């Protein structure tokens, strides 16, 4: 379980993270989404006690990270796969982690097999690893202490499609056995298939959070296009509906398809197109993060 | 928040020291440095055997000669042990696994001291072999004895030097900068002390090069001990304290 409470980090006058609050429950995978520079990594470093927050707090399994006696046995952390000594072998990295956390020596071999690093690769220095191999090694390192919580920053970066599929299965299984997973990504597609819940962050603030259903349960929007746009607009205005012109043509109306269709029918406008708008989560993600420079206040309410 | 997750227990200092010691020797750079230090000890044997007068070729002298390269290069290993955490960015994993950063520092100092002890022991062995070779070649007539205080002060010297390396590494956190300043600053002070007459007095008290040199000679007087202590306060304790503050506060990225 991870509990983040109003975490804020300021660098001088710049707030990298502002009032970020969310919670990750056991048995779930939480996707931490946001464009590059949104504050995902800073938030994760604050959770792990590597960056002191300006205000707010975070706990893992009910305890501030730095007060966990042997954190490697409770929390698996992978914040940057590149942060490995180039001159050390992959096997040695895992053996060192096992030694620090007090796990048996055999753990290194077990994890190499689990993440699919061959004996040969394990005996090579990390400096010669591809990004994908480093991600696998980093994930193995996070899992050495048999933790109940995983905190992973962009773990899919550098993995090939097969590798991403494999990692999804691994994280899903970890959560299904009661584990808590927090993984970040700037690409929705990478986490959409595996995450149960989402926290979307933009410009250092939480823009939305909730399950996929909750996030998509935004107000109805309909795209409509008529043979005579003028007549349609009159009809919509008469029905008291709010609408705006779309760049691609047609109108976007803040109402369901039925309401829009009835309004058009009563005016006799001939419709060429009438459909629910939205490409799903992706469109929502883009709309939430598009104006990251000037973030709108978080649409809390429905989105918790 | 007073909650603490105490089980499983935190890694003991002994375990952390073993890990830090292992980290000093399990990388390619670390291994090469160790080989270089060992070679420097061995390489001094023929130098003494062929350059020093026969009656000065004692076990003690040969041992002291073996430590010249060690005292010069071992601090670099101490520096690298700290700075590589930042240059190779392993600090991220290190401090994620052990949030109490000062314990890592203690483990690094202890690990360095272990290496210093190992090299002093190896130096005695090398010195002994050198003396055997000298006897076989008929070049050495010096004593076979190694006074315990000599071995003791050499060990102290080696531990101090490697700890200074760790302290400088922690203060500057950047390998080239720390290494250059480690060698440059004390030497600069020595030179300054010799060039500026008014600094002559204080220089003798704050100059590690001159103060510590007395450790490698047999018999250290009370005044010499006092000079060693004052110079170490400046060149070891101050960087150590400032470096610790920096280490504990620094944001790990």
Note the ipTM here: 0.88
User: CB-CB: which of A51, A66, A88 is closest to B99?
Assistant: A66
Provide mean pLDDT across the span B11-26: 95
Could you tell me if A205 and A298 are in contact, meaning their C-beta atoms sit under 8 angstroms apart?
yes
State whether A92 and B98 contact (CB < 8 Å): no
Q: How far is A60 from chain B (nearest CA, A)?
A: 10
pLDDT value for A301: 39
A141 touches chain B (CB under 8 A): yes
pLDDT digits over A235-244, tens only?
Answer: 889 888 888 8
Q: What is the pLDDT of residues B148-190, one digit of tens each?
A: 888 888 999 899 999 999 999 999 999 899 999 998 988 888 8
Average pLDDT over residues B231-249: 91
pLDDT band at A191 (very low <50, low <70, confident <90, very high): confident
Mean pLDDT of chain A: 88
- Distance from C-alpha of A254 to C-alpha of A244, rounded to nearest angstrom: 9
Are B252 and A50 inside 8 Å of each other by CB? Answer: yes
List, in order, residues 6 or more apart from A276 with CB less than 8 Å away: A220, A221, A222, A223, A256, A257
Exposed/middle/buried for residue A266 (C-beta within 10 Å: 0-12, 13-18, 19+): exposed
Cis omega (within 30 of 0) for bond into A227: no
Cβ within 8 Å, pair A87-B29: yes
What pLDDT score does A298 carry?
Answer: 45
Interface of B with A in 67-86 (CB under 8 A): 84
Q: How far apart are CA B208 and CA B186, in angstroms?
A: 7
Cα–Cα distance between B174 and B153 in angstroms, integer? 31
Measured between CA atoms, the residue of chain B closest to residue A146 is B8
β-bridge partners, A222: A253, A276
pLDDT tier for residue A94 given thresholds of 50, 70 and 90: very high
Residues A117-143 have pLDDT tens digits of: 999 999 999 999 999 999 999 999 999
Cβ pairs A/B, distance under 8 A: 109
How many Å apart are CA B29 and CA B36, to the nearest integer? Answer: 11
User: B11 vs A70: CB contact, 8 Å cut-off?
Assistant: yes
Chain CA centroid to CA A145, Å: 24
CB A225 within 8 A of CB A254: no
A178: left (phi over 0), alpha (psi -120 to 50) or beta: left
Q: What are phi and psi of A52, to 5 degrees?
A: -75, 130
Distance in Å from the first CA to the final CA of chain B:
26
A92 touches chain B (CB under 8 A): yes
**Predicted model pTM:** 0.84
Distant-in-sequence, close-in-space partners of B117: CB < 8 Å, separation ≥ 6: B155, B158, B159
Confidence of residue A279 (pLDDT cuts 50, 70, 90): low
Share of chain A above pLDDT 90, in %: 62
Q: What is the pLDDT of residue A299?
A: 43
Q: Label residues A9-26 b or e (16+ Cβ within 10 Å = b).
A: beeeeebbbbebbbbbee
Cα distances (Å, whole numbers) of residue B41 to A206, B45, B140:
61, 7, 18
Residue A219: pLDDT band (50, 70, 90) is low
Number of H helices, E strands in chain A: 11, 13
Query: CATH assignment of A2-213, given 1.10.260.40, 3.30.70.360, 3.40.50.300, 1.10.3720.10?
Result: 3.40.50.300
Structure token pair of residue A176: 């299904």
Residue ranges of domains in chain A: 2-213, 222-276
CATH number of A222-276: 3.30.70
Partners of A198 in the β-ladder: A31, A210
HSE, CB side, 13 Å, CA atoms: give it for residue B175.
12
pLDDT(A99) > 50: yes
pLDDT of residue B225: 85
């Amino acid at each position: 379980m991870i509990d983040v409470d109003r975490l804020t980090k300021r660098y001088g006058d710049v707030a990298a993270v502002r009032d970020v609050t969310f919670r990750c429950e056991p048995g779930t995978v939480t996707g931490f989404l946001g464009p590059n520079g949104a504050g995902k990594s800073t938030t994760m470093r604050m959770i792990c006690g590597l960056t002191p927050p300006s205000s707010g707090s975070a706990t893992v399994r009910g305890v501030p990270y730095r007060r966990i006696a042997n954190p490697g046995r409770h929390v698996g952390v992978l914040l940057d796969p590149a942060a490995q000594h180039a001159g050390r072998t992959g096997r040695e990295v895992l053996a060192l982690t096992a030694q620090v956390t007090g796990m048996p020596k055999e753990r290194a071999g077990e994890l190499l097999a689990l993440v699919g690093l061959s004996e040969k690769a394990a005996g090579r220095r990390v400096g010669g690893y591809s990004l994908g191999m480093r991600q696998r090694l980093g994930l193995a390192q996070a899992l050495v202490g048999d933790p109940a919580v995983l905190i992973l920053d962009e773990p899919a970066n550098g993995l090939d499609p097969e590798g991403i599929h494999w990692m999804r299965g691994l994280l899903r299984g970890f959560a299904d056995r009661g584990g808590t997973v927090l993984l970040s990504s700037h690409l929705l597609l990478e986490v959409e298939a595996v995450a149960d819940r989402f926290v979307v962050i933009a410009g250092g603030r939480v823009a939305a959070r909730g399950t996929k259903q909750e996030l998509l349960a935004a107000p109805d929007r309909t795209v409509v296009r008529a043979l005579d746009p003028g007549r349609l607009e009159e009809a919509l205005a008469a029905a008291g509906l709010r609408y705006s012109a779309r760049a691609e043509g047609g109108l976007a109306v803040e109402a369901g398809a039925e309401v829009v269709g009835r309004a058009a029918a009563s005016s006799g406008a001939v419709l060429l197109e009438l459909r629910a708008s939205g490409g799903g989560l992706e469109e929502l993600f883009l709309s939430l993060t598009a104006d990251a420079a000037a973030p709108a206040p978080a649409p809390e309410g429905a989105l918790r | 928040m007073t909650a603490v997750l105490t089980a499983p227990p935190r890694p003991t200092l002994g375990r952390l020291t073993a890990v830090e010691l292992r980290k000093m020797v399990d990388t390619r750079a670390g291994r090469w440095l160790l080989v270089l230090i060992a070679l420097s000890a061995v390489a001094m044997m023929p130098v003494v055997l062929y350059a020093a007068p026969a009656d000065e070729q004692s076990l003690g002298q040969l041992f002291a000669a073996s430590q010249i390269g060690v005292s010069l290069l071992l601090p670099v290993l101490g520096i690298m042990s700290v700075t590589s955490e930042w240059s190779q960015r392993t600090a991220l994993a290190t401090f994620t696994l052990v949030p109490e950063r000062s314990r890592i520092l203690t483990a690094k100092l202890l690990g360095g001291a272990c290496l210093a002890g190992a090299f002093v022991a190896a130096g005695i062995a090398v010195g002994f072999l050198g003396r055997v070779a000298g006897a076989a070649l008929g070049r050495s007539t010096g004593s076979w004895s190694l006074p315990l205080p000599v071995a003791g002060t050499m060990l102290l010297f080696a531990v101090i030097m490697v700890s200074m390396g760790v302290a400088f590494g922690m203060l500057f956190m950047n390998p080239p900068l720390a290494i250059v300043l480690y060698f440059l600053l004390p030497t600069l002070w020595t030179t300054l002390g010799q060039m500026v007459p008014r600094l002559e007095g204080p220089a003798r008290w704050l100059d590690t090069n001159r103060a510590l040199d007395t450790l490698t000679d047999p018999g250290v007087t009370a005044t010499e001990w006092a000079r060693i202590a004052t110079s170490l306060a400046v060149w070891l304790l101050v960087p150590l304290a400032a470096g610790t503050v920096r280490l504990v506060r620094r944001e790990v990225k």
